[in-house]
Chain A
Amino acid sequence: MKPKVFVTGMGAVSAIGTNVAEHLHALRMGKSGIGKAKYFVSKYTESLLFGEVPFTNEELKIRNGVEEKVDFSRTTLLAIQAFREAVQDADLSAEQISNSRTGFISSSTVGGMCNTDELYSDANLSGEPSHYLRSYESSDHTLRILKLFQMKGLSDTINTACSSSANAIYLGARLIQSGRADRVIVGGTDSLAKYTVNGFNSLMILSDEACQPFDVNRKGLNLGEGAAYLVLESEAICKGKKRYAEVTGFGNSNDAFHPSATSEDARGPKLAIQRALKEAKLKPEDIDYINAHGTGTLNNDTTETHAFSQLFAEVPPYNSTKSYTGHTLAASGGLEAVFSILSLVNNELYPSLRCDNPIQEYASKPIAEFSKKKIRNVLSNSFGFGGNCTSLIFSACI
C-alpha cells in the first residue's frame, strides 16, 4: 500500500502577499496585485503591467537574514522567503529539514538570468566578472537553499516552463509514495526578468492591460513573479500534525503539437486531467473546483475551456488566479497549489477577476463572485511551453 501524502506546510510570496495569510486575504477581497512595476527595470515597464512582489532585493535580504549574500539573485531571495514560511508552518526543526529522509525539489525558469545586464556582460566577457557569475543556472537557488539549511536528502530542480512547480509537486509525492523520502519540500520560484519579458513579448502574447482570463476580449497575459513551497509528508510521520490537504492525484502529458501553443482539441490538457483523476481514483463529477491554468492568452483559454467541456458533463466552478498574481511561470504551479488548498480548507470559491464577457462557446463560465461551497476535491492545471501539461488533485483530509 502506497503511503498517503499530506500537505503540512505552505509558504508563498507574490504580488498579492508576502505570506499565505496575506494571499488568503487578497483572494477573499478579490484584490489583484497586477499593476505598474516599481522596481523591475525594463523598457516595458512603461507599456506593460506586471504582478511584481512589492519589495526590493535589499528588503528581501533583510527580511530573510541574508544581507551579506551579494550573489543571491532575486529568484533565490523569493525562494528563501517562501521556503522559510513553509518549513515554519509545518513546524519542522532544523534537524528534520537537514535529515537525509527530507528531500527538496524546486523549479525555476529564470534562475539568475534576472540579472540580465550582468549576464550579458559576463557572457560576452566585457568588464569585470559580476557578483552573480556563479548564480545564473536555474538550479543555483536549489543549491543555495540546500546549503543554508544543511539539507542532505534527495534534491532536484525542474524546468518545464509554466508547469515546472506542478511537476515538482508531482515528483515529491512520488518520492514519498515510493518510500524514498518521508518528507519533501516542493515548489518553485521565478522573478521578473528582461529575458522573459522580451521573450514573451516577441511571441506577442503579453497584454498591455490587466489580463482577463476567459474573457472574450482578452489580449494576453501579464508576467508576474513569486515563489511557493509546500511541505509534503507521508502519513506515518505527520500523525497528530495539522494537515491541510492530501495530494491524491497527479497527471502529466505532452500535447505534442507546437512549441508554444496548445492543440485545438487540447489533447495534452485532457490527458493530464484524465491521468490525475485516474491516480486519485476519482470521477470528473467528484471535482468541486478547478484552479485553471487560465493565462489570459487567446490560445490557452479557448483550449482549456474546450478541455473542460469535453471531460466534465457539468463543468465545476473554475477560476484563474493568474488574474490576481499574473503568470509567475515556474512558481505558478506551486502558488496555485496553495490557492487550491486555501479554497479547499476554507470551503470558499474566489472570483476570477476581470472576466466581464466570458467566452461564449461553452456553457460554463468562470466564478464571478466570492461564495462558500463544500469542497472535497480540487483540480489544479499548469500547461507549459514545449507542450508540457500537468494536473494535480488535492483532497480534503478525511
Chain B
Amino acid sequence: MYIKDCFAISPQRTFDDQFEKGHVEIHEEKVYSAIEPNYAEFIPAGLLRRMGKAVRMGIGAAMPLLKRNGQPEGIIIGTANGGLENCIQFLNQIVEYDEGVLTPTHFVQSTPNALAGQLALMTENTGYNNTHINGSLAFENALLDADMYLENLDYPSTLLVGAVEEISEYNYNIDLLADRYKQERVSNDHLLASQTPGTVCGEGSTMFIIGNEKENSIAEIVDFEQINFLEIEKLNATLAAFLQKNQLSIDAIDLVLLGKNGDNRFDNWYETLENNLLKNNRIGYYKPYVGEYRTSSAFAVYYAVQLLNGKCKNDTLQPDEYSKSPKTVLLYNHFEGLRHSIILIKK
C-alpha cells in the first residue's frame, strides 16, 4: 500500500508547515490539546455547529486531502472512542432531565461512525465506508481493511484512511480513575523522563490518502501486524520474526519509532527492545508530541512519513539528531501490554 498524501491535526502545528520545519510545541497543561485550524474554510457553518471536536478534527484533517487528491473510492476510519464529549453531554442530559425530553444532536454525533458518515455526506461519497473501534488497534484494523480492499482491485485506486481521538471530560475522568494518567503535571518535553506511573492524555486526527500504485506516492506501508496478549519475554523475537518475514535484518532499519509514553509501569516493554534487539539502532519517540491516545499510531505513521521525506529535522524532542533522512522506519507500540502493533514503512 502506498501513502499518497497525509494531514494531521494534533497538539503540534501540523496543520501548517511549522511542525515539518522542526518547530515543537511545548505543552504544560494536564492534557495535551490539539491546535486546531480555522475550519470555516472547508466546513460550512451549518454543519460545523453540530460537530463535536472528534468529528471536527477528523473532517479538518480529511478535507485538505480530499481537496488536493479528489474523491477516494472509500472511507475507512479507526477510532476507539468516537465523539465522547457528545456522549457525556447526552449522558448528562439523561440524568439531569431524568430521561425526559432530550435533544438528538449529541446522540447522533456521539456515535463512532459519525465521522465516516459525515465525510461521506459532505463529499457525496457513496463508496465503501467502515469504522473500526478496536481500542488501540483501531487504526491498524483500518489499515488491514484498506489493504484487503485495494489488493482486490485491478485498476489504480485510493482510499481515505485515518483515525481520530478527542480528549473529553468523559474519557479523561474514566481513564484517570483507571490509573492511566499521571497525578502530577508533566510537560511533554519531560514526559519520557518522568519515571512515574501513568501517562498524559493527548488527542488528534490523522488522515491518509492510501492507494495501490507506487507512482506519486510519498511512502510505502510495507507490512504491519497486530498481536494480542504477547509475553514480554517474546517481544524481541516477535519483532525479529516480523523483520525476517520481510527479508530484513534489524541493521537495515534506519529508524525505530517507539510508542513510549512515560508510564513507568509499562515502558519496560520498550526498554527490553532498546537493550536487546534495538541496541544499535537509532530510536525516536512520537508520544511526546501528541500525548497518549488509543489511535496515536496513526500520528506515528504520519511522523514517519514526514521524516522519510526529509521533514521534521533538528527537532529538540528527539534523542538523536536526524542528520540524514531515514529510508526505512519500523514502528512499535503497545497499550498496557495487551495490544501490540508493528508497522514497517519505507520511502
**Is there a contact between chains A and B in the complex with CB atoms less than 8 Å apart?**
yes
Interface positions of A (Cβ within 8 A of B): 42-44, 109, 113, 116, 119-120, 122-125, 129, 133-134, 136-140, 142-143, 146-147, 150-152, 154-161, 167, 171, 174-175, 178, 180, 194-195, 197-199, 201-203, 252-260, 267-268, 271, 384-388
Structural contact, B88 and A201, CB atoms closer than 8 A: no
Option from B107, B109, B113 in Cβ contact (under 8 Å) with A203: B107
Residues A154 and B144 in contact in the complex (CB < 8 Å), given A129-B178, A252-B128, A386-B116: yes
Structural contact, A195 and B148, CB atoms closer than 8 A: no
**Chain B residues in 8 Å Cβ range of A136:** 174
The complex places the Cα of A203 from the Cα of B105 at a distance, in Å, of 9
Structural contact, A123 and B121, CB atoms closer than 8 A: no
Structural contact, A159 and B107, CB atoms closer than 8 A: no
Structural contact, A156 and B112, CB atoms closer than 8 A: no
Interface string of B72-105 (1 = CB under 8 A from A): 0001000011100001101111110011011110
Residues A119 and B91 in contact in the complex (CB < 8 Å), given A157-B133, A158-B130, A159-B133: yes
Residues A198 and B99 in contact in the complex (CB < 8 Å), given A156-B141, A171-B145, A254-B129: yes
Structural contact, A146 and B99, CB atoms closer than 8 A: no
**Chain B residues in 8 Å Cβ range of A252:** 128-130
Interface positions of B (Cβ within 8 A of A): 75, 80-82, 87-88, 90-95, 98-99, 101-104, 107-109, 111-114, 116-118, 120-121, 123-135, 137-138, 141, 144-145, 148, 151-152, 169-170, 173-174, 176-178, 226-229, 338-339
Structural contact, A123 and B174, CB atoms closer than 8 A: yes
Least CB distance, B288 to chain A, in whole angstroms: 25
A-B contacts, 30 listed (Cβ < 8 Å):
A116-B91, A116-B94, A122-B177, A124-B169, A138-B133, A139-B135, A139-B138, A146-B229, A150-B229, A152-B227, A158-B130, A158-B133, A159-B112, A159-B133, A160-B113, A160-B130, A161-B111, A161-B113, A171-B130, A178-B148, A178-B151, A199-B102, A201-B102, A203-B107, A253-B126, A254-B116, A255-B126, A257-B121, A259-B108, A387-B120
Structural contact, A384 and B113, CB atoms closer than 8 A: yes
Option from A138, A152, A194, A254 in Cβ contact (under 8 Å) with B75: A254
Interface centre among B108, B178, B229 (most CB of A within 10 A): B108
Least CB distance, B332 to chain A, in whole angstroms: 18
Structural contact, B144 and A198, CB atoms closer than 8 A: no
Least CB distance, A129 to chain B, in whole angstroms: 4
The complex places the Cα of A386 from the Cα of B233 at a distance, in Å, of 43
The complex places the Cα of A217 from the Cα of B20 at a distance, in Å, of 60
Residues A388 and B135 in contact in the complex (CB < 8 Å), given A159-B112, A259-B117: no
Least CB distance, B302 to chain A, in whole angstroms: 22
- A159-B82, A197-B99, A202-B107 known; 9 other A-B pairs, CB under 8 Å? A123-B170, A137-B135, A138-B133, A143-B228, A155-B134, A158-B133, A160-B131, A202-B102, A256-B126
Residues A258 and B121 in contact in the complex (CB < 8 Å), given A203-B104, A252-B130, A388-B116: yes
Structural contact, A160 and B129, CB atoms closer than 8 A: yes
A147 closest partner in B (C-beta):
B229
Least CB distance, A179 to chain B, in whole angstroms: 10
The complex places the Cα of A157 from the Cα of B133 at a distance, in Å, of 5
Structural contact, B141 and A385, CB atoms closer than 8 A: no
Structural contact, A385 and B113, CB atoms closer than 8 A: yes
Structural contact, B102 and A253, CB atoms closer than 8 A: no
Structural contact, B127 and A254, CB atoms closer than 8 A: yes
Structural contact, A267 and B126, CB atoms closer than 8 A: yes
The complex places the Cα of A142 from the Cα of B229 at a distance, in Å, of 13
A-B pairs, 5 with minimum CB distance: A386-B117, A199-B107, A254-B120, A254-B129, A202-B104
Least CB distance, B140 to chain A, in whole angstroms: 9
Residues A133 and B104 in contact in the complex (CB < 8 Å), given A154-B144, A155-B137, A155-B226: no
**Chain B residues in 8 Å Cβ range of A119:** 91
Structural contact, B129 and A387, CB atoms closer than 8 A: yes
Structural contact, B131 and A159, CB atoms closer than 8 A: yes
Option from A152, A157, A167 in Cβ contact (under 8 Å) with B134: A157
**Chain A residues in 8 Å Cβ range of B144:** 154, 156, 180
Residues A388 and B117 in contact in the complex (CB < 8 Å), given A155-B226, A268-B126: yes
Structural contact, B125 and A256, CB atoms closer than 8 A: yes
Residues A123 and B126 in contact in the complex (CB < 8 Å), given A155-B226, A158-B131, A385-B113: no
The complex places the Cα of A150 from the Cα of B229 at a distance, in Å, of 8
The complex places the Cα of A44 from the Cα of B100 at a distance, in Å, of 10
**Chain B residues in 8 Å Cβ range of A258:** 121
B96 closest partner in A (C-beta):
A120
Structural contact, B131 and A43, CB atoms closer than 8 A: no
The complex places the Cα of A332 from the Cα of B145 at a distance, in Å, of 22
**Chain B residues in 8 Å Cβ range of A42:** 99
**Chain A residues in 8 Å Cβ range of B127:** 253-254
Interface centre among A116, A125, A134, A160 (most CB of B within 10 A): A160
The complex places the Cα of A109 from the Cα of B82 at a distance, in Å, of 11
Residues A253 and B129 in contact in the complex (CB < 8 Å), given A122-B177, A203-B107: yes
**Chain B residues in 8 Å Cβ range of A138:** 112, 133
**Chain B residues in 8 Å Cβ range of A254:** 75, 116-117, 120-121, 125-127, 129
